[in-house]
Structure 1
Amino acid sequence: MKKYLTAIIVLPLFLLALGCTPRYEEPVDGYKPSSVDDDFPIPESAALMQTIPEPENPNIDNGAKYEVKGIGGEQGLATPKRYFQEIQAEGWTQLEEKQMGHVHFFQKDDTVIALEVREDSLTVYEMIKDAKF
């Protein structure tokens, strides 16, 4: 009987603690300029994996892919809200109506940046002027 009583008390507490545990913790360690555009911030921990000097998409001028541990959550489905707030604090406006799945668009003056957020990686693309997207 004592085992059942303990299980009845401990199990709900365990489930409550499990339910309150965050599933996605955004990496926050400061920001630095991206190699694509000096005005577009990326997380300080971002490690350049690949430069994309001549993308196959004719609307993209150039790009770079970065490894960022913990960004994007599982399968890249979590929006990095604090990071997006930092981008906007730097003067970029998110073009929410242009979002396509994992790809988010930001504009500052005449420059448009496409930001692809995946699990543990970011890809930053600079769009050509008057790009069709």
Structure 2
Amino acid sequence: MKKYLTAIIVLPLFLLAVGCTPRYEEPVDGYKPSSVDDDFPIPESAALMKTIPEPENPNIDNGAEYEVKGIGGEQGLATPKRYFQEIQAAGWTQLEEKQMGHVHFFQKDDTVIALEVREDSLTVYEMIKDAKF
């Protein structure tokens, strides 16, 4: 009888725990050029929310913020691995040692892009030449 009672109690708890675990899935719908740099890809579903023509940070030339449903996971804590692979396939090198929290840096030739990944949004910044970051 104890076995059945244990199974009746444990099984629903297990199913509840599995069912309530947040699962991050990247939006997969292709990629398009960003408005900041034509060579830097962003998800096809990215909707431009605002441009940042004159940022307050002196190391940033310009930027754009995009809404991308499902990117970044809960609180922006999930790294969009497939998206980063697409960026690297486009010829960009991730500067992992420069990463600062949600901000990731990518370099191609002498251009450096800062990519801020948050829950449901991306912000792409083009850094000035010889930026200190």
Is 2:41 the partner of 1:62?
A: no
Residue 3 of structure 1: CA displacement? 10
Residue 117 of structure 1: CA displacement? 0.2
Deviations 1:53-89 (A, max 9, x none): 0000000000000000000000000000000000000
SS in structure 2 at match of 1:50:
strand
Residue 18 of structure 1: CA displacement? 1.4
Residue 6 of structure 1: CA displacement? 8.7
SS in structure 2 at match of 1:117:
strand
SS in structure 1 at match of 2:24:
coil
Deviations 1:12-66 (A, max 9, x none): 7953981797610111100000000000000000000000000000000000000
Q: Which residue of 2 aligns with 1:22?
A: 22
Equivalents in 1 of 2:78, 2:32: separation in Å?
Answer: 22
- 1:1-133 correspondence runs (5 A): 4=4, 7-8=7-8, 11=11, 14-15=14-15, 18=18, 23-133=23-133
Q: Out of 5-14 and 120-129, give the one that drifted further.
A: 5-14
Structure 1: 5+ residue stretches without partners: none
Equivalents in 2 of 1:114, 1:39: separation in Å?
Answer: 14
CA-atom RMSD, angstroms?
Answer: 2.6
Equivalents in 1 of 2:95, 2:20: separation in Å?
Answer: 32
Structure 2: 5+ residue stretches without partners: none
SS in structure 2 at match of 1:122:
strand
Residue 4 of structure 1: CA displacement? 3.8
Equivalents in 1 of 2:93, 2:20: separation in Å?
Answer: 33
Q: Out of 14-23 and 53-62, give the one that drifted further.
A: 14-23
Indicate the percent of aligned positions where both proteins have the same amino acid. Answer: 97
List structure 1 runs of 4+ shifted beyond 4 angstroms: 19-22
Q: Structure 1 length normalisation: TM-score?
A: 0.89
Equivalents in 2 of 1:89, 1:100: separation in Å?
Answer: 22
SS in structure 1 at match of 2:50:
strand
Aligned length: 133
